[in-house]
A and B are shown apart, each in its own frame.
Chain A
C-alpha cells in the first residue's frame, strides 16, 4: 500500500491549524470535503455536546454515578472518529471519549445502558459509566487504569502487522497518561516493531487538578515521539478539520506500512475532571471563562457559515432532533431494567470453576 498524500510535518513549533478562530480556512491545500460530510462533522460535534449535557442531568437526577465530561474535546473526537475506518480499524479509547463513541456510531441505547449500568449495557453493568466497549465496532473496552491500554494497543497493532490485516490500532489518552510507565512501554514496543498504531493524546492540560506544567518539562507531548523514533504531530484539537486531516494522515501512514506515530490534539476541558470533581478548587473561573471563548463548535460554525452551510434555524432543528434521539434511546435503555445479579459470576473465565459456582449459589440463596 502506498500512502497518497503527505501534508503535515511532524514536530512543528506551532500546532497544526487549518481553520482560524474567525472560521477562515487557512491551510495551503483545498479541503475537498463534500458539504454533507462537513455538516456531518458539525452534527457529531453538536450531538457530543448535547450528550455531555444529558449525562450531567443523569448525574444530577441520580440515575447514574459518574461522568467524565468531554465538552471542549468535540473537535478532536469527531476528527478521530471520521479519520479511521469504523468497524475495521481498532480503537483503544479512554474514559473521556463518550463524544468519540457517539461519532463512532456506538448505538445510543448501548451508550445509555453503559451509563446506567443496566441490562442495556453489553458489558452487563460491570464497569463504571464512561467505560464503553464494542467488539462489533472493534472498540476495546475502556479500563480505568491510566495508560494501561497502551501496551495492548501496541500488541494488537503488532498482530495486525504480522497478519497483514490492513488495520490500524488507534489509541487515545489524556496528557496525564504520558507520565505512566505503560505509556512509554507501549509506544516504545510499537515503534520498535514498526506496528500500525496511532497514539493520540487529547491534551487538555489538566490531569484532574494537575496542570501540564507539573506533568512534564517537555515543550509539548508531540515532541516525546522523537525519542521513540516515530513522528509526533502537534495539532490544534479545537479545530475539527485539523484533527481530522492529521489523524487521517497518521492512520494512512500506518496502514501503508510506515509504522507508528504520536498525535497531540491540544484541547480545552470545559468541565471538571469528572462528576466527582470540583475544579474551582484548582482552576480560576476567569481562566475557564477565557478558555470557553475558544469553543470548537463555535469555530466550526463560523467556518460553515462562510460557506452557507450553517444557519441558526438549521442548527436549532438539528439540536432538537438530536435531543429527541438521545431521549428516545435513554428511555429505551431505562426500560431494560437491572442486569441479572447472578451474572456477576459470569465472564470471569470462559467457564465457571467450582469456587465461583459455590459463590454464585451463596448469592442465589440469599436472593431467593
Chain B
C-alpha cells in the first residue's frame, strides 16, 4: 500500500473524483499551471485541461461566487482559497450565497461545492497566513465544516465532501501537509462527514481536538500514558456538524473533558463542545470541562509556536482536571 503525505492525499482525492465525475472542476489562484502554492493540484491541469483546473483572477469573491453559480448550474466545483486568512473578501459569497441558497429558494437551488483552505499556524506566517477561522463558518447555518488531521482521513473526507450535496468548507492544517506519511489505500473509500474518530481509547480523561493540535494532543496523551494515566483521544474531524454522540459517550465514560483547539477561544468550536458536555452531562462529570485554545489576539509572528496549544499547556490543563 502506498504511503502518502496529506498534500499527496489531497491531490489523489481530487484526481480520483475528477476522473470519476466530469462535473468536478477545480478553480482558484495558481491552481493550474503552478499546481497551487502548496502543490495540492500539481499535475491536474496537465491531465484535465485548463477548463477543469481553472486559474482564476486574484479574487476570492470571484472564486467563491463563481463556484456558487457553477454548482447551482450543475457542476461540482472545488474552490481553493490560497490561505484561509484570505477568505474574507469572498465571505459574502459563502455566507449570503452558498450557505443560504438552498434555504432561501425553498430547496429549489443548491450549491454543492467544496472550499479547500490551508488553515492554522506553525509556518511563521504572521497574522494572515496562520489563522483558524472555522468558528465563523460553523456559526453560519448552511455550511458544513471539516478540519482534517491525517492523510488517510484527508482522502476519504475530501472525496465525501465533493460528493456531498451541501457546501463544505474543507480546512487543511498547512503545518501537517508534509509532516507525516501514512498508508493511504488506492481504493475508492469515503469517510462520512459528521463522524469523529477515537484515536486512543482510555478511561480517565477525554482529550478532544481536531486539525493541527491533534499532534500535540496525541503527544500529551503519550506522556500521560507513560505517567500511568489512561486518556481517551478523540479527533472531531468535522466541526459542523460535530459528532455529539461520540463526544458524550466518551465524556460519560471518563467524566473529564479537555477540549484542545488552536482557534481563538472566544465564541469557538471548543466553547460550543464543552458547553454542550456541561449541559447534557452535568451530573455525570467529575470536573468542569476545560479548554486549551489559541488566544484572542491577532496571530503573532514571533510567538508562532507559543500561540498554538503546547503539550505543556495541555498537560497542565489535564492535571487540573484530574486533580479537581
Query: Interface residues, chain A, CB within 8 Å of chain B?
Result: 90, 121-124, 126-127, 131, 133-135, 140-141, 143-145, 148-160, 162-163, 169, 181-182, 185-186, 188-189, 192, 346-350, 353-355
Complex: chain A residue closest to B243, CB-CB: A354
Task: Decide if B134 is an interface residue (CB 8 Å cutoff).
Answer: no
CA distance A141 to B109 in the complex (A): 8
Q: Is the CB of B104 within 8 A of A353?
A: no
Other-chain residue from A150, A154, A159, A346 in contact with B107 (beta carbon distance below 8 A): A346
CA distance A216 to B320 in the complex (A): 61
Task: Decide if B70 is an interface residue (CB 8 Å cutoff).
Answer: yes
Q: Which residues of B contact A90 (CB under 8 A)?
A: 73
Q: Is the CB of A182 within 8 A of B93?
A: yes
Q: Which residues of A contact B61 (CB under 8 A)?
A: 151, 181-182, 185-186
Q: Is the CB of A347 within 8 A of B103?
A: yes
Task: Decide if B106 is an interface residue (CB 8 Å cutoff).
Answer: yes
Task: Decide if B175 is an interface residue (CB 8 Å cutoff).
Answer: no
Q: Is the CB of B110 within 8 A of A123?
A: no
Known: A152-B97, A158-B66. A143 touches B144 (CB 8 A): no
Complex: chain B residue closest to A353, CB-CB: B241
Q: Of B30-38, B51-59, B151-159, B251-259, which binds chain A?
A: B51-59
Task: Decide if B89 is an interface residue (CB 8 Å cutoff).
Answer: yes
A selection of 25 A-B contacts at a CB cut-off of 8 Å is A123-B106, A123-B108, A126-B103, A126-B106, A127-B104, A134-B108, A135-B105, A145-B92, A152-B65, A154-B62, A155-B69, A156-B72, A159-B70, A160-B73, A162-B75, A181-B61, A182-B93, A185-B57, A185-B65, A186-B61, A186-B66, A189-B57, A347-B106, A350-B165, A355-B244
Q: Which residues of B contact A354 (CB under 8 A)?
A: 241, 244-245
Task: Decide if B200 is an interface residue (CB 8 Å cutoff).
Answer: no
CA distance A334 to B103 in the complex (A): 23
CA distance A192 to B27 in the complex (A): 14
B269 shortest CB reach to chain A, Å: 13
CA distance A176 to B70 in the complex (A): 25
A55 shortest CB reach to chain B, Å: 20
Task: Decide if B102 is an interface residue (CB 8 Å cutoff).
Answer: yes
CA distance A350 to B112 in the complex (A): 10
Q: Which residues of B contact A152 (CB under 8 A)?
A: 65-66, 68-69, 72, 93, 97
Q: Which of B72-106 contact A (CB under 8 A)?
A: 72-75, 77, 89, 92-93, 96-97, 100-106
CA distance A347 to B66 in the complex (A): 22
Complex: chain A residue closest to B98, CB-CB: A152
Complex: chain A residue closest to B107, CB-CB: A347
Q: Which residues of A contact B108 (CB under 8 A)?
A: 122-123, 133-135, 141
Other-chain residue from B57, B62, B104, B166 in contact with A131 (beta carbon distance below 8 A): B104
Other-chain residue from A133, A156, A189 in contact with B62 (beta carbon distance below 8 A): A189
Q: Is the CB of A189 within 8 A of B102?
A: no
The 4 closest A-B pairs by CB, nearest first: A151-B65, A155-B69, A155-B66, A152-B69
CA distance A90 to B106 in the complex (A): 18
CA distance A153 to B69 in the complex (A): 6
CA distance A123 to B107 in the complex (A): 7
A157 shortest CB reach to chain B, Å: 7
B41 shortest CB reach to chain A, Å: 18
Other-chain residue from A122, A148, A156, A189 in contact with B96 (beta carbon distance below 8 A): A148
CA distance A155 to B59 in the complex (A): 13
Known: A154-B62, A347-B106. A181 touches B89 (CB 8 A): yes
Known: A140-B109, A141-B108, A347-B103. A158 touches B59 (CB 8 A): no
Q: Which residues of A contact B102 (CB under 8 A)?
A: 347-350
Q: Is the CB of A141 within 8 A of B104?
A: yes
CA distance A189 to B93 in the complex (A): 14
Known: A153-B69, A156-B70. A123 touches B104 (CB 8 A): yes
